């Protein structure tokens, strides 16, 4: 079974080999969080040992064709259905014979909400910046237990501040969120879930001190989000509220 510990070296090798070909890839998702949270992950070994089946990568939109050619050259198989979708900005791949599975998004990430990652893709390495890692977890409308724990670990291990450097860049979070009321709404809902879980002390095996940091930082994020001046379009959309669907419907990738 693949775990974070066994999969990370493979992912890092892939990123390094791509860089040698002039292609910039960055890790995101659970594996990136595992990489970024050395302190918190000690308390969640059971979650990480349960297995991670694929790696999530982000790339630049201009490099999609190059990435796909490279993957084919390295012997990976590309998902034909996703490949025939011109606007997917995604590549789903697997090793021939059922080896490594992976998913690469280019320029933007389209899940429950659209997130533009192109401008800040090079702000960190080998993962996306921590702010984007957190946003990618908190934007999920279908917020699952594993997403909750991932987001909690990020908040437990990284302070919310201005600027990156292993911190949650508040400015970057606000810049993304204030463009889209739907994203802000999902973020707020999930922060509430997170706060509720932390206050009940049910964030897995995180120690009380770490859960306290989660509460403090999640509260700070919510406060800053609510107090930030909102653009006109944001305010108009806010009036419609949940009467209009505010998120993308996320479908299965489909069979190979």
SS3 state at 191: helix
What residues between 189 and 208 interact with another protein by CB under 8 A?
189, 192-193, 196-197
- Residue placing its CB nearer to another protein in the complex, 138 or 168: 138
- Residue placing its CB nearer to another protein in the complex, 107 or 170: 107
- Between helix 145-157 and helix 208-227 the angle, nearest 10°, is 90
Instruction: Kindly indicate which of the ranges 11-19, 83-91, 206-214, 232-240 contains the residues binding another protein, using the contact rule CB under 8 A.
Output: 83-91
CA distances (Å), origin 170, targets 50, 55, 119, 140, 234: 32, 26, 16, 19, 19
Member of 17, 42, 49, 65 binding another protein (CB under 8 A): 65
Member of 3, 111, 188, 207 binding another protein (CB under 8 A): 111
- Is residue 131 within 8 A of residue 110, CB to CB? The reply is no
Tally of CB atoms within 10 A around 94: 18
- Token readout for 177 is 């969120």
- Token readout for 183 is 């994203």
Burial 157-182 (b: 16+ CB within 10 A, else e): bbebeeebeeebbbebbbebbbbbbb
Instruction: Kindly indicate which of the ranges 18-26, 124-132, 210-218, 242-250 contains the residues binding another protein, using the contact rule CB under 8 A.
Output: 242-250
Smallest distance, another protein to C-beta of residue 242, A: 8
Smallest distance, another protein to C-beta of residue 207, A: 20
* Residue position matching structure tokens 């437990």: 156
Number of residues that bind another protein (CB under 8 A): 41
Residue 90 interacts with another protein (CB under 8 A): yes or no: yes
Residue 251 interacts with another protein (CB under 8 A): yes or no: yes
Query: Is the N-terminal amide bond of 126 cis, ω within 30° of 0?
Result: yes
Interatomic CA distance for residues 91 and 111, integer angstroms: 14
Interatomic CA distance for residues 20 and 23, integer angstroms: 7
Smallest distance, another protein to C-beta of residue 196, A: 4
Euclidean distance between the first and final Cα of the chain, in Å? 21
| DSSP H or E stretch at residue 110 | strand 108-110
- Residue placing its CB nearer to another protein in the complex, 107 or 129: 107
Residue 234 interacts with another protein (CB under 8 A): yes or no: no
Smallest distance, another protein to C-beta of residue 163, A: 28
Site string for another protein, 161-190 (x = CB under 8 A): ----------------------------x-
Compute the radius of gyration of the chain from its Cα atoms: 18
- Residue placing its CB nearer to another protein in the complex, 59 or 129: 59
Binding residues vs another protein (CB under 8 A): 61, 64-65, 80-90, 92, 103, 107, 110-112, 140-145, 147-148, 189, 192-193, 196-197, 247-254
């Amino acid at each position: 079974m693949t775990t974070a510990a066994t999969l990370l070296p493979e992912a890092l090798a892939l990123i390094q080999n791509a860089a040698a070909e002039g292609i910039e890839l960055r890790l995101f998702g659970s594996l990136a969080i595992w990489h970024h949270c050395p302190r918190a992950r000690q308390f969640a070994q059971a979650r990480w040992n349960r297995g991670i089946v694929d790696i999530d990568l982000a790339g630049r939109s201009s490099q999609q064709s190059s990435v796909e050619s490279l993957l084919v050259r390295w012997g990976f198989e590309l998902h034909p259905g996703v490949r025939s979708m011109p606007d997917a900005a995604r590549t789903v791949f697997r090793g021939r014979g059922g080896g490594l599975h992976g998913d690469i998004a280019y320029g933007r990430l389209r899940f429950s909400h659209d997130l533009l990652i192109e401008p800040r893709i090079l702000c960190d390495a080998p993962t996306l910046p921590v702010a984007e890692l957190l946003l990618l977890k908190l934007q999920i409308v279908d917020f699952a237990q594993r997403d909750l724990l991932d987001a909690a670990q990020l908040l437990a291990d990284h302070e919310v501040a201005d600027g990156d450097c292993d911190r949650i860049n508040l400015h970057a979070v606000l810049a993304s969120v204030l463009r889209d009321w739907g994203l802000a709404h999902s973020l707020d809902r999930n922060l509430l879930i997170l706060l509720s879980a932390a206050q009940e002390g049910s964030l897995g095996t995180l120690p009380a001190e770490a859960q306290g940091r989660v509460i403090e930082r999640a509260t700070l994020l919510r406060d800053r989000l609510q107090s930030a001046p909102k653009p006109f379009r944001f305010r108009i959309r806010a009036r419609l509220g949940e009467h209009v669907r505010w998120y993308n419907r996320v479908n299965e990738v489909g069979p190979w």
